[in-house]
Chain A
Amino acid sequence: MGRGVVPVADVLYALLLVGGFAVLVLCLRGLERL
């Protein structure tokens, strides 16, 4: 693993995680409106 690769990969996977939880928050909001 190159020295410069680590932060980029970490940022990308952090974005994936945040995106996943954003979907869940949207799901929560949608269920609130049922």
Chain B
Amino acid sequence: MNDTLAGLLQVALLLVLLGAVYAPFGDYMARVYSSEQDWRVEAWLYRLVRVDAASGQRWPTYAAGVLGFSFVSIVLLYLLQRLQPLLPMSFGRGSVDPSMALNTAISFTTNTNWQSYVPEQVLGNTVQMAGLTVQNAVSAAVGMAVAVALVRGFVRSGTDRIGNFWVDLTRGVVRILLPFSFVAAILLLAMGVTMSLRAGVDVTGVDGSQYTIPMAPTASQEAIKELGTNGGGVYNANSAHPFENPNALSNLFEIFLLLVIPVCLTRTFGTLVGNRRQGGVLLSVMGVLWGAMLAVAWFAETHPNGPAGVAAGAMEGKEVRFGIPASVLFGVSTTGTSTGAVNSMHDSYTGGAGGVTLLNILLGEVAPGGVGSGLYGILVIAVIAVFLAGLMVGRTPEYLGKKLGRREVTAAVVAILAMPALVLLGTGSAIALPGTLDALNNDGAHGFSEVLYAFASAANNNGSAFAGITVTSDFFQSALGVAMLLGRFVPILAVLALAGSLAQQRRVEAGAGTLATDKPLFGVLVGGTIVLVAALTFFPALALGPLAEALA
């Protein structure tokens, strides 16, 4: 079977799998967040931390919960790394440097999983399991909680309560992420992913030399790494490592895992607002963008310029067991979500495909986006699209029965513009510093892309690396840490403000001037808004980097 046919069959199988779980899983998540009943373990947790699960919160209280929980998470994760020599199963690995520890703590708490360290050399099992894996679950649950709070803003009427953050957080972990990642970990084990608490295995090479192959609790980390769109691997090579991703089946399953929650959350949205076509329109926008990105990247990698063309494709930086189709399928899915796991080196992609992975992140990660962040990201863009329709064709600016006035549009604009500001200011500052050139493996357009990709990945909480750039200096650790922190929470605050404002409004009935938002035309408008915002914001930067390289 040739590569193209095998790739097309994999894409088809992936779509069939997602289609099969779309309705049941999406509806299940809707029930999780709308149920009046607490599970026994949840009730016990609420009593333990003295949370009144029955009381709703105003949006500033909900937001304070998000910030407080995340602040404590970062401090605890920082301390775990700094005190690593005192912890069991550390295998003699020392205290993590302060700049790296803070960068990593912010990275995993913000669902970014940017890794400036080599996991198998720097971290032991306790930090991996009690620190990073825990954050993989709870940071994903935070994103889902914020998305659900925004949906409640549309659903509720005449109230200032948008839900209870602690309840949403707990339910996301207990009812969705933990059980499904447990099942996924078992399936990954069956596919050949390793799972061990040993430091490593001593082996003798064919030349008689002694080696130690590092081992890690891989399968348990791998499952939530993909399901929670986190992306931080237990090995530096991430999902290109055979222990994390041994074969084509595990590769396809990991892609399925990283797409499944963001895709099915559109069904959850449609179910909660009482009109599933609303969710279907958003899913179709996500799907078209994802498909277009996949097509361009696939074509670019199979039609490279230069010497790679002779080899019938750009195989540098790719695993032979995956080949081009399964590599770009993973690459487009990991950058379209906020996962950031990689099974191939994006730095080695051709200018066109590398540009696609970068653009996918710069679109704001809405194709289909991260766990929770994808849904609230595209809903914010839908708000802007409705507002633009009002300006262009005189429709009344209302979405799902809620009027979009100054407060709502201002909050949406803050949510959208925070990320470009961080990416462009961060990249500009880094490029202006003389030491940055020494941190790059390449000069010219490709070197610029490496810096742009780093800040795009951090500010969008993606976490994938273009590689080719050394980010262990205090400047990069700190600047990227700040980009991750503000890139995560400024939009979240704005989204919660939007939710609070929408929930306070009374529902208005659709009139003759109301834009139909459950029709394909609205999907075109939302897709156009996504592309337009990204193009207007990032075209000059993209022209200096991947576009210049692709046209050279």
Q: Which of A6, A20, A23 neighbours the largest number of chain B CB atoms within 10 Å of its CB?
A: A20
Task: Given A21-B71, A24-B67, A24-B486, check contact A31 B494 (CB 8 Å).
Answer: yes
Convert A14-31 into 0s and 1s, putting 1 for each residue whose CB lies closer than 8 angstroms to a CB of B. 001100110111011001
**Shortest distance in angstroms between A9's beta carbon and chain B's nearest beta carbon?**
4
Q: Give the shortest distance, in Å, between A33 (CB) and chain B (any CB).
A: 10
Q: Give the size range of B's interface with the partner.
A: 20 to 34
Main SS class of interface, B? helix
Q: Least Cβ distance of A22 to chain B in Å?
A: 11
* B87 CB–A CB distance under 8 Å: no
A31 to B412, CA, bound (A): 11
Known: A16-B478, A17-B74. A28 touches B67 (CB 8 A): yes
Residues of A contacting B501 in the complex (Cβ-Cβ under 8 angstroms): 34
In the bound complex, how far is the Cα of B490 from the Cα of A23, in angstroms?
9
> Whose C-beta in chain A lies nearest to the C-beta of B501?
A34
Residues of chain B with a CB closer than 8 A to A34's CB: 406-407, 410-411, 497, 501
B493 interface residue per 8 A CB criterion: yes
B414 CB–A CB distance under 8 Å:
yes
Q: B98 within 8 Å of A by Cβ?
A: yes
B499 to chain A, nearest CB (A): 11
Q: How far is the CA of A16 from the CA of B479 in the complex (A)?
A: 10
A-B contact pairs, 19 of them (CB 8 A): A6-B95, A9-B99, A12-B98, A13-B78, A13-B101, A17-B71, A17-B74, A17-B78, A21-B71, A21-B485, A23-B486, A24-B67, A24-B485, A25-B67, A28-B63, A31-B493, A31-B497, A34-B406, A34-B410
Q: Other than A12-B98, A34-B497, give 8 A-B pairs with Cβ distance below 8 A.
A: A1-B97, A9-B97, A13-B102, A17-B71, A20-B482, A21-B485, A28-B493, A31-B493
Closest 5 CB pairs of A and B: A9-B98, A31-B497, A13-B102, A34-B407, A20-B485
Binding site for B on A (CB under 8 A): 1, 6, 9-10, 12-13, 16-17, 20-21, 23-25, 27-28, 31-32, 34
